[in-house]
Chains A and B, each alone.
Chain A
Amino acid sequence: QITLKESGPTQVKPTQTLTLTCTFSGFSLSTIGMGVAWIRQPPGKALEWLALIYWDDDKRYRPSLRSRLTIAKDTSKNQVVLTLTNVDPVDTATYYCAHRRPAPYGGPFDYWGQGALVTVSS
């Protein structure tokens, strides 16, 4: 049974750095093919893929946010951490982490966390 859960602050101020943690169970990020992604959804808007990290530490980022995003894994703790620097009110969103089904390319996101709402406001 794969489960994921996001944790982190519910509110951050503009220009600060947002750090979110995804704690998962039911799989290991040291297993070949495994990946964990971060996806966000502003209130009332569409899903937006942000970043992905693979078992071999390969990392992928949304091009428009590449300079502000960092994704990292702690395999021993079964955690993936996302940091977003210099936040702005437009970064207000529910942030989801999701398990990526192993595949050579384009594996779907088959398990999702419950999401964490983060509000950027002074």
Chain B
Amino acid sequence: QSALTQPRSVSGSPGQSVTLSCTGTNSDIGGYNYVSWYQQYPGEAPKLLIYDVTKRPSGVPDRISGSKSGNTASLTISGLQVEDEADYYCCSFAGNYNFEVFGTGTKVTVL
């Protein structure tokens, strides 16, 4: 059960857009439309940002969006804000054996 691959870090200036990638295989991301994204501040529990590839729970701003192409999912943060500086994890359903797999995590830095 290999973790999904995410870039270690991404940075941007306030107001810019950043896109985080999450690469898997056709057994997880490529095989199902069940990708979710989580934001985690240091010392805190993760918070759900996106589920089912593109859906936002209530309370998550629409400058946060998700997409998928083939075996790669993406999270885009538009209008970057200081409070977006955090770690971000993707997660995908991976079938009835591996079930769930998380990504390696990306640290977003706001310059």
On chain A, which size bracket covers the interface? 20 to 34
Residue among B45, B47, B48, B99 with max Cβ neighbours from chain A (10 Å): B45
Given contacts A47-B89, A47-B105, A96-B45, contact A109 B1 (CB under 8 A): no
- List the one stretch of B13-21, B31-39, B67-75, B76-84 in contact with chain A: B31-39
The docked-state distance in angstroms from the alpha carbon of A47 to that of B36 is 13
Assess whether B30 is interfacial by the CB under 8 Å rule: no
Decide: A52 and B51 in contact? CB cutoff 8 A.
Answer: no
Decide: A106 and B93 in contact? CB cutoff 8 A.
Answer: yes
The docked-state distance in angstroms from the alpha carbon of A90 to that of B51 is 30
Decide: A108 and B51 in contact? CB cutoff 8 A.
Answer: yes
Residues from chain B with Cβ under 8 Å of A46 in the complex: 3, 89, 102-105
- List the one stretch of A19-27, A77-85, A111-119 in contact with chain B: A111-119
Decide: A64 and B1 in contact? CB cutoff 8 A.
Answer: yes
Decide: B38 and A113 in contact? CB cutoff 8 A.
Answer: no
Assess whether B98 is interfacial by the CB under 8 Å rule: yes
Residues from chain B with Cβ under 8 Å of A105 in the complex: 32, 34, 93
On chain B, which size bracket covers the interface? 20 to 34
The docked-state distance in angstroms from the alpha carbon of A103 to that of B52 is 10
The docked-state distance in angstroms from the alpha carbon of A60 to that of B93 is 12
Chain B residue with the shortest CB-CB distance to A50 = B100
The docked-state distance in angstroms from the alpha carbon of A46 to that of B93 is 17
Decide: B48 and A49 in contact? CB cutoff 8 A.
Answer: no
Chain B residue with the shortest CB-CB distance to A61 = B99
Residues from chain B with Cβ under 8 Å of A74 in the complex: none
Cβ contacts B32-66/A at 8 Å (1 or 0 each): 10101010000001111001100001000000000
User: What are 15 residue pairs bridging A and B, where the CB atoms are less than 8 Å apart in the complex?
Assistant: A47-B91, A47-B105, A49-B99, A49-B100, A49-B102, A52-B99, A96-B45, A103-B34, A106-B100, A107-B51, A108-B48, A108-B91, A109-B36, A109-B91, A112-B46
Residues of A near any B CB (own CB < 8 A) = 37, 39, 46-49, 52, 60, 62-64, 96, 101, 103, 105-110, 112-115
